[in-house]
Structure 1
Amino acid sequence: MKLFIASDLHGSLPATQAMLARFEASNADHLILLGDLLNHGPRNAIPDGYNPVATAEALNTYSNKVIAVRGNCDSEVDQALLQFPITASYAHVLLPQMRLLLTHGHIYNPDNLPPLQSGDALLYGHSHIAVAEYRDDILLFNPGSTTIPRNDGRSSYGLITATECQVRTLDNNELLVSCPIRHKL
């Protein structure tokens, strides 16, 4: 199974379209969206190509493949535009080798971990900074932001396979950070 992970689209239609093109090319089984999908939020500048309605329409094309959680900029009004659920603040995905806890990152994050066991993973966004690393046998994974990156100014997305997790640049698909998946015994 291959999972494609994106976060912090913030209503940018060009960034969403680029992300969806990468999703298509990846042949991933599911598109995991870690929140802040349609609105830019009060602390962010309005992103290039800001068009929440068209962004929702583009995402709805893939509604049967989406697993999403709510970000701090998402609201019930956003849910009215989307054909997949986004109102849960977290979700669990069970893989044969590990449990993934999906969240936006404004509540649960590396500084405030939810209850996890050895071998589990926390997938989060919010910080707009790409991360793929283990801390005390817990995988911490953040795909960065498709729209307002803060790490080195490069928009990014993530991939998780049975053996590896990666964060790649949205523009030229360059590998930013990766780490192996540690299988449970």
Structure 2
Amino acid sequence: MKLFFASDLHGCLVATESVLEKFEQSGAQTLVLLGDTLNHGPRNPVPEGYNPPKVAERLNQYTDSIIAVRGNCDSEVDQMLLEFPMMTDYSWILLEEHKRIFLTHGHLYNQDKRPNLKSGDAIAHGHTHIPCAEWVDDIVVFNPGSVTFPRQEFPASYGLYDNGQFQVVSFEGDIIAETDF
């Protein structure tokens, strides 16, 4: 199973179009959205190309391929525009060989405040806008970074899971972080 991860679109149409283009090129079956999809949030500037209704329209074309969780900037009003569920605080993906990926935005659960995970699980979250793919103790911590507002001088990025490996990739194609799972 090949998965494509994006987080923190924050209503930016340009970023969303870039994500959808890379998703199409990746051959992934599932687009995992890790929250903060439509709203820019009160602490962030309004991004260039801010157009939440158009972002929703574009994402709705991929409804059958999306798994999404709610971010701290997402609301019930956003859900009214989206044709796929995105109001859950977390979800799970079950992989072959009993591997599990816990999906969340990162404001409730994250690397430092984990839910009950078993040894060998992974937690995938956004929120910090900082890419990460590494083993911490006995779990994988994975963050695809941010498409719209990357931080700490990282480029805009997305994530991939394929053949037992997590990767964070810049839109220029550089691997920013990776780890086996």
2:100 and 2:125 mapped to 1: Cα distance? 14
1:61 and 1:90 mapped to 2: Cα distance? 23
Correspondence list, 1:33-182, <5 A: 33-97=33-97, 98-170=99-171, 172-181=172-181
Shift of 1:152: 1.8
Shift of 1:48: 1.1
Shift of 1:28: 0.1
1:5 and 1:167 mapped to 2: Cα distance? 9
Shift of 1:137: 1.7
Query: What 5-or-longer segments of structure 2 have no aligned partner?
Result: none
Shift of 1:96: 1.1
Runs of 4+ in 1 over 3 A off after TM superposition: none
3-state DSSP of counterpart to 2:39: coil
2:39 and 2:126 mapped to 1: Cα distance? 15
Question: Is residue 72–residue 104 contact of structure 1 (8 Å, CA) maintained in 2?
Answer: yes
2:173 and 2:148 mapped to 1: Cα distance? 15
2:131 and 2:156 mapped to 1: Cα distance? 9
Question: Is residue 144–residue 155 contact of structure 1 (8 Å, CA) maintained in 2?
Answer: yes
Tell me the alpha carbon deviations over residues 110-145 of structure 1, each in whole angstroms, 9 at most, x when there is no partner. 110110001100000000000000011200000000
Query: What 5-or-longer segments of structure 1 have no aligned partner?
Result: none
2:173 and 2:46 mapped to 1: Cα distance? 25
Question: Is residue 132–residue 165 contact of structure 1 (8 Å, CA) maintained in 2?
Answer: yes
1:38 and 1:48 mapped to 2: Cα distance? 13
1:137 and 1:77 mapped to 2: Cα distance? 38
2:146 and 2:168 mapped to 1: Cα distance? 10
With normalisation by structure 2, the TM-score equals 0.98
**Percent identity (aligned):** 54
Tell me the alpha carbon deviations over residues 60-81 of structure 1, each in whole angstroms, 9 at most, x when there is no partner. 1111000000000000000000
Question: Is residue 130–residue 154 contact of structure 2 (8 Å, CA) maintained in 1?
Answer: no
1:61 and 1:173 mapped to 2: Cα distance? 25
- Of residues 148-157 and 24-33 in structure 1, the stretch that sits farther from structure 2 once superposed is 148-157
3-state DSSP of counterpart to 1:160: strand
3-state DSSP of counterpart to 1:39: coil
2:7 and 2:173 mapped to 1: Cα distance? 16
1:66 and 1:77 mapped to 2: Cα distance? 19
Give the match for residue 26 of structure 1.
26
2:176 and 2:124 mapped to 1: Cα distance? 17
1:14 and 1:167 mapped to 2: Cα distance? 19
Q: CA RMSD in A?
A: 0.8
Question: Is residue 3–residue 161 contact of structure 2 (8 Å, CA) maintained in 1?
Answer: yes
With normalisation by structure 1, the TM-score equals 0.95
